[in-house]
């Protein structure tokens, strides 16, 4: 599970770290989900077998939870396709949670493996998807300006969906860690994870628009992920007075193009998000688009008329 792959799942997806037992990933999610904002999104996707795109709406769900207080913030995401709705019963899902308190933080990320390079490969993998699936769980703790992360890989039935997130995290706790911890210094002004970095960028853009009535470039934000440093920046933004997205017309939006760059390799990942500029949805994604490979594009659309799946703690903890 690469940082690029997990970030993609965090933004939109169909289809952390030294002491997992002490940090207890579900407790991170619990703090993020008990209060604050909680939003449901539907997932749609398009594939391009040859020259033309073929699309389908409502193939999965995502829940984004946000809580902010004076010196702490929590962010959580549970996202994935629903085999009962997705074409060919595609089952790809991920989970991420970040709990930030002052200069310290704990994080957890989970994702099913997916490395297809074409529609044909994806279909072949679906035909083989019987028995067990490999789940990679990365946990991290950040303290004293240092991020320490460790990964656990567990095998679970391939029929598990995002609704079994609690069960998979329990299996990871029982398994323990697989490898040596990775350690990296947090850059000055850097954020402990992707979710907090993205939230801060959108909040800053919305704040600039409210104070100045227009948008201007904001500095890139660095963050760390499993021993690597990344930069998140806005490459382009525009104000949108009114736009119908899904079944709702929203006022005062910002449409931004984002880019993630890995510091060590300069590899980049591009995606777009439309989010609120003011009011209760300020800095909250309304819609998002991501094209992880040439043959597939994913869309995320806010739909709070449906509750969606319940992330950890709201169900069993």
Q: Tell me: the pLDDT tens digits for 29-50? A: 333 344 588 999 999 877 666 5
Res. 316: pLDDT tops 60: no
Q: Which residues pair with 248 in a beta bridge?
A: 245
Judge whether 17 lies within some domain: yes
Mean local confidence (pLDDT), 211-233: 93
Portion of the chain with pLDDT greater than 90, in percent: 53
Mean local confidence (pLDDT), 204-219: 93
Task: Identify the pLDDT of residue 16.
Answer: 24
Res. 1: pLDDT tops 50: no
Judge whether 205 lies within some domain: yes
pLDDT in tens, 263-288: 999 999 999 999 999 999 999 999 99
Judge whether 132 lies within some domain: yes
Judge whether 227 lies within some domain: yes
Contact 56, 274 (CB under 8 A): no
For residue 267, CA distances in Å to 138, 170, 261, 298 come to 21, 34, 6, 20
Task: Identify the pLDDT of residue 306.
Answer: 84
Torsions phi, psi for 18 (to 5 deg)? -85, -40
Confidence of residue 176 (pLDDT cuts 50, 70, 90): confident
Mean local confidence (pLDDT), 136-150: 94
Mean local confidence (pLDDT), 287-294: 84
Question: Is the Cα torsion angle 306, 312, 313, 317 positive or negative in sign?
Answer: positive
Judge whether 310 lies within some domain: no
Confidence of residue 247 (pLDDT cuts 50, 70, 90): very high
* Residue 97 buriedness (CB in 10 A; 0-12 / 13-18 / 19+): buried
- Confidence (pTM): 0.82
Distant-in-sequence, close-in-space partners of 26: CB < 8 Å, separation ≥ 6 = 166, 169, 312, 313, 317
How many domains would you assign to the chain? 1
Task: Identify the pLDDT of residue 57.
Answer: 85
Mean local confidence (pLDDT), 293-303: 83
Query: By residue range, what is the domain housing residue 206?
Result: 3-302
127 vs 152, more confident:
152
By DSSP bridging, strand 72-81 and strand 93-101 are: antiparallel
* Spatial separation of the C-alpha atoms in residues 111 and 94, rounded to whole Å: 4
Task: Identify the pLDDT of residue 217.
Answer: 86
- The whole-chain average pLDDT of the chain stands at 80
Mean local confidence (pLDDT), 49-71: 79
Res. 98: pLDDT tops 50: yes
Res. 12: pLDDT tops 50: no
Judge whether 191 lies within some domain: yes
Judge whether 312 lies within some domain: no
Confidence of residue 296 (pLDDT cuts 50, 70, 90): confident
Judge whether 317 lies within some domain: no
């Amino acid at each position: 599970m690469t940082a690029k792959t997990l970030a993609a799942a965090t933004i939109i997806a169909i289809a952390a770290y030294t002491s997992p037992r002490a940090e207890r990933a579900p407790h991170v999610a619990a703090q993020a989900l008990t209060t604050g904002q909680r939003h449901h999104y539907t997932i749609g996707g398009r594939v391009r077998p040859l020259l033309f795109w073929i699309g389908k709406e409502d193939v999965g769900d995502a829940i984004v939870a946000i809580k902010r207080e004076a010196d702490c913030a929590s962010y959580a995401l549970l996202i994935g396709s629903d085999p009962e709705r997705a074409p060919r019963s595609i089952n790809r899902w991920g989970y991420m949670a970040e709990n930030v308190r002052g200069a310290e933080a704990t994080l957890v990320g989970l994702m099913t493996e997916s490395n297809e390079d074409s529609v044909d490969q994806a279909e072949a993998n679906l035909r083989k998807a019987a028995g067990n699936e490999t789940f990679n769980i990365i946990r991290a703790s950040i303290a004293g300006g240092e991020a320490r992360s460790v990964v656990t890989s567990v095998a679970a039935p391939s029929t598990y969906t995002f609704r079994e997130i609690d069960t998979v995290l329990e299996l990871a706790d029982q398994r323990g860690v697989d490898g040596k911890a990775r350690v990296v210094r947090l850059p000055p002004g850097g954020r402990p994870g992707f979710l907090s970095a993205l939230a801060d960028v959108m909040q800053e853009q919305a704040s600039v628009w409210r104070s100045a009535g227009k948008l201007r470039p904001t500095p890139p934000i660095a963050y760390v992920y499993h021993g690597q440093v990344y930069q998140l920046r806005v490459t382009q933004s525009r104000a949108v007075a009114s736009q119908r997205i899904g079944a709702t017309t929203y006022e005062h939006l910002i449409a931004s193009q984002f880019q993630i760059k890995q510091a060590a390799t300069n590899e980049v990942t591009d995606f777009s998000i439309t989010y609120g500029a003011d009011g209760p949805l300020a800095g909250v994604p309304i819609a998002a688009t991501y094209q992880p490979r040439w043959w597939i594009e994913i869309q995320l659309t806010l739909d709070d008329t449906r509750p969606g799946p319940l992330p950890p703690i709201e169900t069993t903890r």
